[in-house]
Each structure stands twice: as C-alpha cells, then as structure tokens.
A and B are shown apart, each in its own frame.
Chain A
Amino acid sequence: MATPGAGGNLQAKLVLLGDMGAGKSSLVLRFVKGQFFDYQESTIGAAFLTQTVAVNDVTVKFEIWDTAGQERYHSLAPMYYRGAAAAIVVYDITNTESFTRAKNWVRELQRQGNPNLVIALAGNKADLASKRKVETEEGQSYADENGLFFIETSAKSAQNVNEVFYEIARKLPKAAPAPQPQGLNLNAQGRTQPKRSCCSTS
C-alpha cells in the first residue's frame, strides 16, 4: 500500500515481475542509479532498492522489489508482491514467451483482489526494434482490455524508464488513497508516523 510518510509524502511498495531476462533489474538500475550493464547478472532471490520521485507537490518514495524471473521461483513471488501499491510487469518485445508470461503475471495480480493496485505493463528492449516479436499494438490492446498502464521501454537507451515510474507515482494517490490513521491530510507536514524513522524521505 502507499502509505503517507513523514512530511506528507508517500511511500509506495512497488514490485517488478516478469520473465527471466526481460530486463526487470535493468529497468530498476536505470531508474535508481542511471546505469545499464550488458551483462547484468540474473537476480537470485530478490533485490530491494529505493528511489524517490516528486510529482506535483508530493514526493513518492518507491520501495522497489526486484524479483527473480524464472518460473521455478514463482512460489516466492507472493512474498514480494503482497501489500504492494504498484507493480510493473515486464516483458521483452523480442520474445513472445515473455509476453505470455507477462499476461500470466497480470492475471495472478488481479486475482489477488487489490482493486487499487496500480499495474504497469512494460514492453522492454524497445531499442531492439529489428528483433521485435511482439508488436506495440498487441501490448497496447492487452493493456487496454485489462485496465493497465502500457508503455514500451528500453533500459539500455533509457527510453521511457523514468516515465513508467512517474506515471505510477501520479496514479498512486488517486488509486490508493493512503490510510490516514490520525485522520491527517496527505499534505500535512511532519505529523504522521513514518514507517521507520531512519528511512524517512522528507
């Protein structure tokens, strides 16, 4: 859930799901550190990173869970998407299997029954146009049918990477009005209890 942090800012748990090699870690790395590696190692278990963005008057601190893509580790995924405010489901536009798996992830997330979960569908590796196997329209129409936000990205060229996260940030407050334990306004300064004082982002 997106929860109000200190200073009226949001903390939002975000999870990345998608087939192995689709580029989940690369997208996160590009977003958080502005880096890209051709030889990005596979993710074993999961990784956790944070990054804060400002949208309008609110800053959103993303607590990002980057998961391992292989189907074999599927049983661990719920641990990471449980309680998430947002998910980015990633596929590789040069690989139809990864698109199939993306759809499976979307179905699974929708079954979790959090109507406020913001789901983005990212067709990654857009820079590899010559090897494209999944057309933009396919991704777009699937997203439309399922009420997802769709965008094609490239972690390599940085195309649309920040956009995914900003768009999610914009959708968050609307989609997931944060529980306001003390009845406080989102923008009220410094009165809400941060989840952890050491990690407050204000």
Chain B
Amino acid sequence: MCSAELFLNATCVASSEELKIYKKRSFEAQRQSTQHAAMASAESSGEQASSGPTGTYEVVYIKDNVSVHPSPLANERISGRLKLIKQGQSVFLTWIPYNQSGIADDSGLILSPSEGAPVTPPQAPGRKDKDRNLYTIRAVSLSEIRSIRRHTPTLGWNYIIVVLTTGLAFPPLYFHNGGVKEFLGVLKEHALLVRSAEDANVYLVNDIQDPLQRSLTSLDLPEAVTPVRELEPLEEERVSAQEGPDEGGSALQPLVVSRRGPEGGVLDRLPQKHVDPLRDASIHILTQFSKVTRFVRDATTQLSGQNDRPLARSGMLGLPERAPVPPPVAPAVQRQPSAGLGEALPGRGAGDAGAGSRMEEDKDEPELSSLGAFELVDGLEEESPALVWGRPRPPPLGAEEWATFLDSEGRVSDPAGLRKRVFHGGVEPDMRREVWKFLLGYFPYESTRAERKALQANKAKEYEVLKGQWQSVSEDQAKKFAKFRERKSRVDKDVVRTDRTLPFYAGDDNPNVEALRSILITYSFYNFDLGYCQGMSDLLSPILYVMDDEVDAFWCFAALMERMASNFHRDQNGMHSQLLSLRKLVKLLDPPLDDYFRQVDCLNYFFCFRWILIHFKREFEYDNVLRLWEVLWSRYLSDHFHLYVCVAVLKRHRRKIMDEQMEFDTLLKFINDLSGRIELEGTLRDAEALCRYAGDAGVACMPPAPPPTDETQIEGPEG
C-alpha cells in the first residue's frame, strides 16, 4: 500500500512537474532521475518494493564501451552499454548501442526540443541506426541464458559470447575498457554460475545439476511442456472424443520433459509448429540473427569445437539446421491450438478435459507430482503465483531502448517489434507520453518526427474548433437545446467523481478535472451519435494523466474510442458479443468452470461486465491500470487480449467459485470485490499462456469486428 502510493507519487511528479523540463534534459539525466525515484521508493519501503508495483527495478550493473564488431573495420564497430537489470526476482541482460558511432558515452543522445524524441546526431559513414539497432539486446532474462564464454585473446580486446538456452548466441561483446571478470562477478551474485568442466572459459548459467530441480526450472519454460493432445473441441465434439481410445491413451505420454534432458534436443524433436510460437522469446533474436548468421556460425564453431558435451546437451549442434527463421512477428494466434501448456492448466488435465473420467485424472496426478509439476500447475489457482508460463516479464521499455526503435527521422522502423516489446514488458512511466500515442494510433508508426509535429499542430487547431462548437452555445440557445444540456450535465456528474482521490484529480477547481470535462463534452460533439456514456470518464482519466495535455489526450481518447465505441452502443451489441466470446473462451480453456456456470445459470457472464466495459480500470491500482492498458493496446497476441485476462482471473478463483457454490448474486459480489486484489504480472503471464494455448481455437471465439456506430446506436430519450 505504502510503496504503491510512494511510487504513484513519484510517477506523478515525473509526469506533471518534470515533463515541463523534460524537453531540455538529456536522456541520461532523465533516466537517472527515474531510477532514483524508483530506488528511493524501493529503499523507503524496504522489502515491499521488489514485490511491489510493476515498475520497480534496479540496475545492478552498467558497463560502457562494450562493442559489437560486425566487421574487422574499426569504423564499423558499434559501441554500446551493457547492463544487468533486476526486477523482482529476475535479472535481465541488455546491450544497447549508442546512437552515435564511436562516441564513448550516450550523451550523444539528445532530445529534440520540439517533442522530446531523440535526435540522431550525424552518422558515421556507412552505418545507419537501423543496422546498429539490429544488434541491440533487449532484456534477455538470465534464465534464458545457457552459458557465457570468455575469450581473452593475446591481441585485442577481451570479449564474451552469450549463448541462449535455445542454442542461439549473440555476437561477441567486446569489452573495450576491460572488465569481463567484474561482469562475471556481478553475474555470479544474481545467477548460478558454474565453470564448465570441459572448458574453464565457459560459464554455465543456472546449470542446475539436480534432476528434480532441473525439471522444475525447465517447467518455467514453455518448451518444457509437450502437448499431449489437441486442444479439446467444444462440448459437442467432446462427447464423441470420449469414445476414442487413442485420445485417451495419449494422456500417458510424459507431460513434462526437461529441456535439457540427457538425450538432448527435445526441442529438436518437436514439430516446428509447436516450437515456433512457444519459443517466441527468441523470435526477435532469431530475426536479428538471420541477418548476422556469420556471428552465429562463428560462435557455434568456436564453441562446438571446444565443448562437445555441454553443447550436445543444450542442443546447440542442431543450430545450423534449425536456423530457418520464423517470421519476425509470428502471429501466434494463427498457429495450431495444440501447442504445449494445455496439460499444465487446471481444468485441462487430460482426464478432466477430454475423456472426463475420474480414473484417468487420478492416474495423471502422481505422474505430475513426481515431476514436481503438480504444485506449480495448481498454482494457477487462487492467490499463489502462477508459474505455468513462467517466463519473467522484462522491465518496461525505457528511453534508451525506445530510441533504438526509431530511425534517424523518427519513424518507428519495426512497429511489430515495438508492440511485442510493450506486450511483454510495458513502458516506463516517463516514456508513456510518447509511446502511447503510437499504441493508440494517434501517431502513425511510419510518420517522421516532422510529420508528427505537423499533425499535432493540425490536431490542436481541429480540437479548438470542436471545443468551440459547444463553448459558443449561448445561455439562451442552451435553454432550447435539451440534448446539449443533458449531455453536459451527465459529463458534469461523472467528472467530479472520477479518480478524485488521485492527487492529479484531487481538490476543488482542479484544472485537470476541467480538462476531463472539456474533452468529454467535446468528444460528445465530435462523435455526436455516440455521445457521452458512463465509463468513458474512466477510460479518459489515465490517458489525460499520462498525456498531461488536453489536445493530445483528446485525440488519444478519440483513437481509443475507435476501438471501443461498440462497448457503449445502445443495444449493447459490443458488450454482448464480447461476453459471448468470453463464454466460448471459458468453455474452451476451462470446461468444468463452464459447466459450473451453466448449472448456476450464469452463462451470460454479466458478472464480468465491468471488467470488459472499461478494461479493468476499476480492478487495479492506477499504475497497474496504465501497465495493463499498454499491454492490451500493443495488440500483440490478440486484439482482444482483455478477454484472456478475464479467463486468467476467473481461473485463479475457479476453485473458490465452485466450492462456495456461488450463484449470480454472490458471484457478482465476489467479482466486484476482487477490485484491488488482482495481481497483475502473474495474471498477464497466465493470460498470455492461455492465449497461446488457445491458438486458432481461441481466435475462433473472438468477437466479430464491431459494427460502426450508426443511427441505430444513437441515444434515445436521454439525449
């Protein structure tokens, strides 16, 4: 509680006060202040901080002048900064190139006075930002790292090669100022580092010898779980599936296989369709490496020559054959629904999901337990942290890394990559103001910095015109304009009770409350057919808070409403179709729970109405709402990811719901009372797992594209 408040205050200061001077500051100063704020909050609230708000993280290691050498040419070297970042229990490694080749620190990163976006200083010949960014290492979790090899050539700089558990390697990182030893020293504090018996220069990261431990660790990783059966079809088909002995028999296959099993390369045996989407973490890296395979080959030959055994175990020898690269943003939703995970989800145990016989279920349990899996699996329920997916979520996107997404003219060169990054880690509070404009669609990804400046200027004018339309309504005119009066009074009633406990909106005559009001009334003129509807103030509040600018907030809100307008249609079509989708998803992902809801006549899912209408705005602390929304807006795995979040939350409480025999009333009360008690990061991980698991079958559940707002949706008597 205390830490959450502190944190909120810190972000508050950053967004209202600091933003005014933000433009003049260098990125580094900006980042440091953010770090200090985060650390200060961490220190003052003691232990809570690490488990506290999502944004809390700590840089545990920084090393400048660590370079990649794409070619032997000295002027092609790319210098950057190596970091270890700790968030919660997880540590991530990043290497971000400086924006200006050859300059030894990233003070070369300056902010454009106009929009706070980084401006690229003059380029070194022959090397564009884009190429440089190719090598960027964006937040790789230590748990994804298999080994690190230290090279100490007699001539030239020391370097390291980082090899991932997937068998891929990053290009050598040269320590121009030395310090490999120190790096390994710091690493040792945060991960189990073991020198390979075969080669003293190879450090195995997290190499856990104990087989049980090992399977536990590998459980965390998606690859660890082999699919046992195709995803269960909806009920009708399920009945017939019961008869098929083949389906039943497959339940006897091992549910969990250690990725590092002695025979090596479990991964290699999995059909490609299973592997690709689940190895999503490496997709980005793979994409990069498709362009720099030379490094991979180098690293591979070097290592395989000297280290046969560990390599065999990690499956690295298979690398060249596996090199074909999946599409950069493999739209995971398009893949087969059978991939992985299924059996790890409660309610998807082989017995329960398909053949449905109690006997089979009983048979499975000991097997799971013997692998140490059962407890983890069961952890998806109730309050215990869910570990089904288990990949730690990386820290949020920061300024430096954001800069790597922009080309020299400020275009987002890899929108898909950006969306993916935001989906997995969110955005640092200070960066939201910029990044959200893209996520929401106010700024086109392909726009240049100059184009955006022009766009903003136009939009500012347009907003003034729209606002003038209602501001110029005279008192006499208003007397004869019932619809206008009603509309205004409805907005008035809501803005005075929207997030008023938040400092940003607190107190009498708060200009932000006034801005909230102006935007909502203006919007109801801009989209006259839709008008103002309760819930909209909830959707606008965080946007205005982040933008801290009426015009930008208006257009971001308008862009959001492009996606969400059907939630507010008079006939509730948007809500009904989403509630129906949710019902289908639960049926797909948790048939027993679906059965239960059917028994108690709750299949309309109206108890989830608030979740869906305002995207969990009332369910989380404010800063977590911001995090959740940017993840939803990234629309990376699904345009309707919030529905998977619904399923994830329901699944966490399924046992209680069923044990206590909740019916519609008690269920609604229970769901409403969850407000403020849902753990975000774990829920997001679960939702991601569910979404990937559901695959095509999940896509088939999704609501159709909402119809545009038309006359049938206009307001009735209310105005």
Interface residues of A (CB under 8 A from B): 20-21, 38-42, 44-49, 63, 65, 68-73, 75-76, 79, 95, 97, 196, 198-199
By the criterion CB–CB under 8 Å, are B500 and A20 in contact?
no
**Nearest CB in chain A to that of B604: its residue:** A79
Residues 641 to 700 of chain B near chain A (Cβ within 8 Å): 660-661, 663, 665-666, 668-669, 672
With A39-B501, A42-B497 known to touch, is A72 a contact of B571 (CB < 8 Å)? no
The interface residues of chain B lying within 8 Å CB-to-CB of A44 are: 534-535, 538, 609-610, 613-614, 618
Give the shortest distance, in Å, between B358 (CB) and chain A (any CB): 25
**Nearest CB in chain B to that of A42: its residue:** B534
- Listed residue (B496, B498, B672) with the most chain A CB atoms within 10 angstroms of its CB: B672
- Which residue of A41, A49, A75, A199 contacts B572 across the interface (Cβ within 8 Å)? A75
B529-556 interface mask toward A, CB cutoff 8 Å, 1 = contact, 0 = none?
A: 0000111011000000000000000000
Give 9 nearest A-B pairs by CB, closest first. Answer: A71-B718, A45-B609, A21-B493, A39-B500, A48-B669, A44-B610, A45-B610, A70-B534, A39-B497
The interface residues of chain B lying within 8 Å CB-to-CB of A72 are: 533-534, 568, 570, 715, 718
By the criterion CB–CB under 8 Å, are A20 and B571 in contact?
no
CA A21 – CA B497 in complex, angstroms?
Answer: 10
- For the A-B complex, the count of residue pairs with Cβ-Cβ distances under 8 Å equals 85
Interface residues of B (CB under 8 A from A): 486, 489-490, 493-494, 496-498, 500-501, 533-535, 537-538, 568, 570-572, 604, 606, 609-610, 613-614, 618, 660-661, 663, 665-666, 668-669, 672, 715-718
- Which residue of A38, A39, A47, A73 contacts B534 across the interface (Cβ within 8 Å)? A73
The interface residues of chain A lying within 8 Å CB-to-CB of B669 are: 47-49
Give the shortest distance, in Å, between A64 (CB) and chain B (any CB): 10
The interface residues of chain A lying within 8 Å CB-to-CB of B537 are: 42
Query: Could you name 15 residue pairs across A and B whose Cβ atoms are closer than 8 Å?
Result: A41-B497, A41-B498, A42-B534, A44-B609, A45-B606, A45-B668, A47-B672, A65-B665, A70-B718, A71-B715, A73-B572, A75-B571, A95-B489, A196-B663, A199-B666
The interface residues of chain A lying within 8 Å CB-to-CB of B500 are: 38-39
By the criterion CB–CB under 8 Å, are B661 and A196 in contact?
yes
With A20-B490, A21-B493, A73-B534 known to touch, is A41 a contact of B618 (CB < 8 Å)? yes
Give the shortest distance, in Å, between B603 (CB) and chain A (any CB): 13
The interface residues of chain A lying within 8 Å CB-to-CB of B663 are: 196
Main secondary structure of the interface of B (DSSP, over half): loop
By the criterion CB–CB under 8 Å, are A20 and B606 in contact?
no
By the criterion CB–CB under 8 Å, are A48 and B672 in contact?
yes
The interface residues of chain B lying within 8 Å CB-to-CB of A39 are: 496-497, 500-501
Give the shortest distance, in Å, between B528 (CB) and chain A (any CB): 15
- Listed residue (B490, B533, B618, B661) with the most chain A CB atoms within 10 angstroms of its CB: B490
Give the shortest distance, in Å, between A80 (CB) and chain B (any CB): 9
CA A44 – CA B610 in complex, angstroms?
Answer: 6
By the criterion CB–CB under 8 Å, are B665 and A63 in contact?
yes
By the criterion CB–CB under 8 Å, are B665 and A48 in contact?
yes
- Listed residue (A41, A47, A79) with the most chain B CB atoms within 10 angstroms of its CB: A41
By the criterion CB–CB under 8 Å, are B486 and A97 in contact?
yes
CA A63 – CA B664 in complex, angstroms?
Answer: 12
Starting from the known contacts A42-B537, A198-B660, 20 additional A-B residue pairs (CB-CB under 8 Å) come to A41-B618, A42-B493, A42-B494, A42-B534, A42-B535, A44-B534, A44-B538, A44-B614, A45-B606, A45-B668, A47-B668, A48-B665, A48-B672, A70-B718, A75-B571, A75-B572, A79-B604, A79-B606, A97-B486, A97-B489
The interface residues of chain B lying within 8 Å CB-to-CB of A79 are: 604, 606
CA A42 – CA B715 in complex, angstroms?
Answer: 19
CA A71 – CA B568 in complex, angstroms?
Answer: 11
